[in-house]
Amino acid sequence: MRDYAETIGFLGQWGRFQQIVFFSLVATIMPNGFGAFTLVFLTDTPSHHCLVSGINLTEDWRKSVIPIKEVDGKQELSRCSRYRLDVVRNLSAQGYIPGRDVNLTDLEEEGCVDGWSYSKDIYESTIVSEFDLVCTNQWKQPFTSTVFFVGGLLGSFLSGQLSDRYGRKPVLFAALALQTVFTFAQVFSGSWIMFLIILFINGLGQMSNFVAALVLARLMPESPRWLLSRGRVEEAEAIIRTAAKWNKVQAPRIIFEDCGTEKMQTRSKEHYNVFDLLRQSSIRATTLILCFVLSTMIVGYYSLSFNTAQLHENPYISCFISAVVEIPAYISSWMALLYLPRRLSVILTLVFGAVPLYLIQLVPDDLSNLALALEMLGKYSITTGSSLMFAYTAELYPTVLRNTATGISNTVSRIGSCIAPLLLSLGMYYKYLPYIILGSLAVVAAFAALFLPESFKKPLPETIEQMQRRERMKCPCLTRNMTPVPMVPMDSSL
């Protein structure tokens, strides 16, 4: 059988059929952005302090009942403690004035036993204020986002396996249905646990949708490549003929030659799974490196994206700035895919993403706009690289493994998204620690990417054998220059 790309070359590159398929798939994944990044606002923590109500206090004592704490060099009301109300009530009743008659630092403190009062200057409510995810329950706030990404991790794995077995379209539509139902269901969550369960399923549906659409976008519905790999030649030809009709070109009488031969029938009966990505050394090396590089980019992307609420006093402006940065990033990714080698593009985006993240810690506190610009430069580069990686991954693997490989690499990379909220929480101990970790990961990933095979301007591999023939750099530390030892014939007289 001729090369697949050569066989369907008569369709052209960007006809009416490809345009309809492309924009239809774009429409299916547009809601994914809302699903993930509404968490920036849903999980944001409003200003809060202990609730003080239902007691008779003088105005001076009502203003002083919450201790003043220093946070990042600023004075603010304590979020998790108050002065003991029974003591404050007695002092107020006796006419003592705080700060003059009573040294407030000598008073005993207690926790927020009556709950919290949350500021409504920005949000009417968030899940933090709804379910009191503060103080001793503060760990639940980043954990909530992590649960969503764990659902995405499972979705990446399942969608890859199910798509290769049952086809891309059934998985895509099932994921859309799942995503739609459980997005609406979140509104009716009555408890934090209920919200987590619904959020997990929503994340599973969202990532299943994304992975199926990603691979389907590079083929067609239902992928003729996939149908041919399953021996369903007539269905594959029917799709190509439909595409030819929409593109107003003439299809040949026989499109896929030699598809009924014994060799093709045997190949169609072969089943591949995740273990085929690890069995042979060359494929195993590619898989492991891709997983690490993509994980690094994903943890960088989501860490910088979820940190947007802290970039500006108004989180909506912060999110807008962060979103605007992605527009030139995707344009840059598109241009790089057209004109630059894949391996070089990935390395450059990682390096240019790491440098500004290292430099942020050198910026004085009074130059906050410069720090913001550096962080957005880092996000621009990491976003560009992340987009490249999805296309790069699909180009490296043969048809029989493409969806499985895409699903597995996305599954492993979602570990990065799972730890992103937890990584950001390290800023509580040292403000710049998340940036240092992200920059270091990017540098190591750039070095690892050197050993990936190149796919720029090369046809997609149809078989595992074709993938193995791809050229790649070899690690010098693993290559031995063996000097042949001359063989000296033994003296027969000895």
pLDDT tens string 16-38: 777 777 777 777 777 777 777 78
CA-CA distance, 203 to 208, in Å (whole number)?
Answer: 8
**Model confidence at 356, in pLDDT bands (50, 70, 90)?**
very high
Q: Is 435 helix (H, G, I), strand (E, B) or coil?
A: helix
HEC secondary structure over 331-358: HHHHHHHHHCCHHHHHHHHHHHHHHHHH
As to burial, measured by CB atoms within 10 angstroms (0-12 exposed, 13-18 middle, 19+ buried), residue 407 is buried
* pLDDT value of residue 336: 92
CA-CA distance, 149 to 30, in Å (whole number)?
Answer: 18
pLDDT over 60 at 113, yes or no: yes
As to burial, measured by CB atoms within 10 angstroms (0-12 exposed, 13-18 middle, 19+ buried), residue 429 is exposed
pLDDT tens string 161-200: 777 677 777 888 888 888 888 888 888 888 999 999 999 9
Task: Compute the residue count for the chain.
Answer: 494
* pLDDT value of residue 3: 58
* pLDDT value of residue 86: 86
* pLDDT value of residue 173: 82
pLDDT over 90 at 346, yes or no: yes
Residues with Cβ < 8 Å from 444, sequence gap 6 or more? 296
Q: What is the mean pLDDT of residues 325-340?
A: 92
Q: What is the mean pLDDT of residues 350-354?
A: 94
pLDDT tens string 211-270: 777 666 657 444 676 677 677 777 777 777 777 777 777 777 777 766 544 444 445 445
Q: Is the pTM of this model over 0.85?
A: no
Q: For the chain, give the mean pLDDT.
A: 80
Tokens of 350: 């990682």
Percentage of the chain modeled with pLDDT above 90: 20
Strand partners, 69: 76
